[in-house]
Chains A and B, each alone.
Chain A
Amino acid sequence: MPAKKIIRVLIAKPGLDGHDRGAKTVAFALRDAGMEVLYSGLHQNIDQIVSTAVQESVDVVGLSIMTGAHLPISARLMERLKEDDLNDIHVVVGGVIPKDDVPKLKEIGVKDVFPGGTRFDVIVDSIRSLF
């Protein structure tokens, strides 16, 4: 991929949770880092997230999950992407994620995990390193 590629990111809030302070601040940070950022808005299901990701041709989907349901939700997204042959879309996850769950998320194909409080530069570097 050329070095100057502008990375397109969809920050998505799956499920019923409405706490989106983290999602929005990370969206600001990625935009300030030169990425093109879309924010899905609240209460999205996996179908909606995948269809937005395809329509907007994003390179990365960042799931923001605060309720503790990150394992089942992320697993569903990864399965859907596989089924639809969308393996070139990278998935990262942020939110209230206990450290024991980080390897579990990576096992199912999540590229990186950003528990609350992760520095913006760490998130930016990690996403850039995917390309």
Chain B
Amino acid sequence: MGVAKYIKNEKDAIEEVIYQSGIKVKPIYGPKDLEDIGFDYEKDLGEPGAYPFTRSLHPQGYRSRAWTTRQYTGFGTPQETNERFKYMIAHGQTGLNVAFDLPTQMGYDSDSPEAEGEVGRVGMAVDSLQDFDTAFHGIQFDRIGAGLTINAVASIMLAMYQATGEKYGFSKDKISATPQNDILKEMIGRGAWIFPVEPGVRLVCDVIEYSVKELPRSNPVSICGYHIRESGATPTQEIAYAFEIAKVYIDDLIGRGLAPDDFVGRFSFNLNVFGNLWEQIAKFRAARKLWAKMLKEQYGVKEKKNLFLRGLFGGGGSGLTKEQPENNIIRGAYYALAAALSGAQTTALCSFDEAFTIPTPRAALLSLRTLEILMDEVGLRDTVDPLAGSYFIETLTKEMEDKIIQEMDRVQKIGGMVHAVSTGFIQREVAKQAYEYEKSIQDGTVTKVGVNKYTEGEQPDVELHEYNDSWAKTQIAKLRELRRTRDGREVVRSLKDLEKAAKDGSNVMPVLVDCCRAYCTVGEMAGIFKDVFGEWKEPRLF
């Protein structure tokens, strides 16, 4: 999986192994190592399904239920996306993970000048409720959970999902949506932010508060270490920063008068499986334990289920290479193995062609099959947390835990995550790590097969997903037709209500649902927010 540094002697024997988190690995581990870390089964691991959940959230692990598979899907118009959703579900996928195009993520309508060239390119184009009606036609809202991978305007998309569900006869207590809704991570990596930090966090917490009160089956936030890692952070930074982000949202919600036990059980995480196999497994085990401990000890959370670190552990795209692209199929399988050995509850893989563009149906299906083979053929459902008790894994888990705490302390010392993001501290840290990693690939201290070892000259072409210009034309025509035919008075009225809610600080969600029902467009709703909140100016790094 290729991120550790290997110092070798002249005979190619390994003299030193250094993980990306800075941990040095010894050639041999034994009982003495467990003694040295004061290993205590009850305290450090607990039974599967028991606090601190190092081993597993559930007593029977994958015996009782295999993981949920949720490939990231969406492109073109809602019609193309609906067809792809149905294709993936027909082939055994058990949840959806919706990709939106950039204009939608950034709050622009498909016919705005900013959207030119981007409509339907990296995800599905959405302008109004009629697009969700098409995209989710024939989907069982009560049985298939939908991840909505959107952040700055997650509030709008969740409102739209609720309005569509209701149109198809699924009441709001039945629908299960997971809007990603993590704006702080967008400011660190991925970059689909719009509003400044404070209103950005407020919108995130409006979505959470509303979901806690009105959408009992929805998980209103998915905190994404994933993209922070993709941007270059080390595995320990990934977890530490994700937890520090979570604390910002928790504190905001407490400030609204909610008790942590009312909402933390609805948090989920999106974490990255890329890196050294053992380091990844230890990372996830340490993360599960630390999250439960933090909630219990710092926030007084009592309910057992509320202490679960639930989420998607997904194969990282940054591990894939353009060189010898078929190798990415093999890499994906090992990432999935790491996720399974870590007890991932939900999973997804980047497909082998995603170093080039969004995947073809064949490539996406191959990723799904990779996940299914692990569960159904290889034996990953046999027993819970099979590596527990390993001298090496338990020592490493403890070391990762200590490193994560150190990184969290660093963020606290400079004033917490909001400050760290506003000043660019985190962005600088992450970019620096990305640069160091890139240099180590180029100087060969980190091996990447097909890139700096076992290279082959000219590469054969792989079949790629192609962007179709006609999608934008279709989408824009549909949007313009909608603007002519909808009830303009309702649009104006609901947008005025939205402006009022945005200004007076009340929760924007009920009004957004109303706006969606009136067929307000994404650009109109986000436009109100832009007028009221302004836009973020990122701190300069160079």
Contacts and interface: CB of A to CB of B under 8 A. Distances in A.
Contact of B191 (A18, A39, A72, A96): A18
Given A39-B540, A72-B116, A16 B103 contact: yes
B541 interface: yes
Contacts of B190: 18-19
B191 A67 contact: no
Contacts of A17: 102, 122, 191
B494 to A, nearest CB: 26
Given A21-B230, A25-B435, A28-B431, A96 B357 contact: yes
A45 B464 CA distance: 28
Contact of B438 (A18, A25, A42, A69): A25
Contacts of A20: 191, 231
Nearest to A10: B542
Contacts of A42: 191, 538
A21 B117 contact: no
A98 interface: yes
B114 interface: yes
Contacts of A18: 186, 190-193
Contact of A72 (B117, B432, B435): B117
Given A41-B540, A67-B121, A120-B442, A24 B431 contact: yes
B356 interface: yes
B133 to A, nearest CB: 25
A119 B442 contact: yes
B105 interface: yes
A31 B542 contact: yes
A75 to B, nearest CB: 10
B439 A69 contact: no
Given A16-B102, A67-B121, A21 B231 contact: yes
A116 B191 CA distance: 19
Contact of A68 (B121, B193, B232): B121
A97 B322 CA distance: 11
Given A24-B431, A120-B439, A115 B322 contact: yes
A43 interface: yes
B102 A15 contact: yes
B102 A67 contact: yes
Interface string B420-439: 00000000000110110011
B322 A116 contact: yes
Contacts of A15: 102, 114, 117-118
Interface of B: 102-103, 105-106, 108, 114-118, 121-122, 186, 189-193, 230-232, 318, 321-323, 355-357, 431-432, 434-435, 438-439, 442, 451, 464, 467, 538, 540-542
10 contacts: A16-B106, A17-B122, A24-B431, A25-B232, A27-B541, A39-B540, A43-B191, A116-B322, A116-B355, A120-B438
Given A18-B193, A69-B118, 18 more contacts: A13-B191, A16-B102, A20-B231, A21-B230, A21-B434, A24-B434, A24-B541, A25-B431, A28-B431, A29-B439, A31-B542, A42-B191, A42-B538, A43-B106, A67-B102, A73-B117, A117-B322, A117-B323
Q: Which 3 A-B pairs have the closest CB atoms?
A: A18-B191, A16-B102, A39-B542
